[in-house]
Amino acid sequence: MNVVVVGGGFGGVKIALQLANKKDVSVTLVTKGSNFEYHGALYRTATGSSPLEVAIPLRDIFDHAKNVSVVLDEVSTIDTKRQNVHSTTGNSYSYDALVLAMGNQVNYFGIEGMDKHSQSMITVPDTVQLRYKLVELAKSNKIAHPHIVIVGAGATGVELAGDIQQFANSVTSKYAKNNKQFRVSIIEGADRVLPMLRPKLSEKALMRLSKLGVSVRLNTRVNSCEPGKLCLEVGEISADLIVWTAGSRIVDFYHDNAQYFELERGRVAVDQFLRAKGHKNIYVIGDNAATEYSGMAQTALHHAKFVSRNLLRMSKGVPPVAFRARKPIYVVPVGPRWAVLQDGKKMVSGYQAWLVRRRADLWIFKNFAPYKKAIVQWRRGNKKAKI
């Protein structure tokens, strides 16, 4: 069975690993980058941690996999009758089973100027660029109190806001006589921060942000973005750096090949086996699949394990089993050594929740590397990059 996997994120890499060295299975992993990137820890890269924590070379992950070929390429079109996908470079990849695990891309919701005048952090290079800009502001003698405005109070925005001041302190302690105080603001259109959590935890996170000196404006819509300024529905707010964390969407591939895919609530409709509706051998997993809890790393890993098991079952002539969603655990750090946690009805906040998050980070790395290597990767989160 020839399996083509498109995407080098959580779902794509995990399913290729699940099928590694399986008898009568050949896997081609097509991905744009040479590293697996752990996006859940990008905020730490932005605020001083080593980027080596969040980037694992794919050659290291698959060095033992004799039946997995990693190809650096970008898929653009699909031919379902001939069962192949074509790339922007003119290459073609034939499949018996196709797994699309392509992740998300930034979504500015059509807000004028936001793409040109704000900084995103959806990739490691974007995030390293953001850190560079924060360092320059901290070192600058021209701006006494740099104002950082973060658009979006989801997990990424809250995580970043909670760590900026400590990072600024570490920079200015090295380059200046006195620590420079940043002003950090969050702009959120909803009526609370972390709207995916229970209101009680949202309130705790808001109180924590306030204690850290972060200003939060809720129920506030952004109309447009100009250099150094956000124009709101009511008034405007100036900023030395604007960071966009408020939205993502499925990749353009599905719109470019719309004749093959049905969209549902902005994601790709799938059947009970996570196959794209109307197809018997095309699977959509991870952020782009219209399933409950899509958008979480835990969900992408669950998708990958499920589809790989079914592919192996079918290769042996055994009928596939139906998918069952698994409720994820939400853990969001809010500043150094503090987090909020939601596990079903269980809610925890503070240092204990932060410890759970660090253990969860280790669990993520153990999905992609042997235990000893995973420990090394995990410990890099405690190391600071040179500034």
Q: Is residue 152 part of a domain?
A: yes
pLDDT over 70 at 385, yes or no = no
Q: Determine, yes or no, domain membership for 110.
A: no
By the 10 Å C-beta count (0-12 exposed, 13-18 middle, 19+ buried), 46 is classed as buried
The angle subtended at Cα 376 by Cα 371 and Cα 378, nearest 5°, is 90
265 lies in a domain? no
What band does 172 get if pLDDT is binned at 50, 70 and 90?
A: confident
Burial readout 350-369 (b: 16 or more C-beta within 10 A, e: otherwise): eeebbebbbebbbebbebbb
The number of distinct structural domains making up the chain is: 1
For residue 155, is pLDDT > 80?
yes
326 inside domain? no
pLDDT tens digits, one per residue of 50-87: 888 888 999 999 999 999 999 999 999 999 999 999 99
CATH number, residue 217: 3.50.50.60
Q: Judge whether 216 and 185 are in contact, CB under 8 Å.
A: yes
Q: What is the pLDDT of residues 173-221, one digit of tens each?
A: 777 666 678 899 999 999 999 999 999 999 999 999 999 999 999 999 9
92 occurs within a structural domain: no
Q: Which domain holds residue 205?
A: 134-245
Residue 155 lies in a domain: yes
Does 153 map to a domain?
yes
Q: Are 257 and 78 in contact (CB under 8 A)?
A: yes
